[in-house]
Amino acid sequence: MNYAIRSLAEVVTCLHKAKRRKYITEELFKNHYGFAFNLMNMMIAFKNKIK
């Protein structure tokens, strides 16, 4: 589970870099960032639940 969470955090870092370098639009960034944020919260909640 920790590996999945770290991998998602890396994806978020890549999203920020892609936006800064203008590879993606602000709208696309917000869409994917929002999805990643929600997924991260669900993954952390699941991890805490199975402890």
What are the tens digits of pLDDT across the range 1-51? 899 999 999 999 999 999 999 999 999 999 999 999 999 999 999 999 998
Backbone angles phi, psi at 23, to 5 degrees: -80, -25
The DSSP symbol for 1 reads -
For residue 9, the enclosing domain spans: 2-50
Residue 1: the pLDDT is 87
Model's pTM, two decimal places?
A: 0.87
Overall domain count for the chain: 1
Quote the CA–CA distance of 37 and 51 in Å, as a whole number.
Answer: 22
Structure tokens at 12: 């978020």
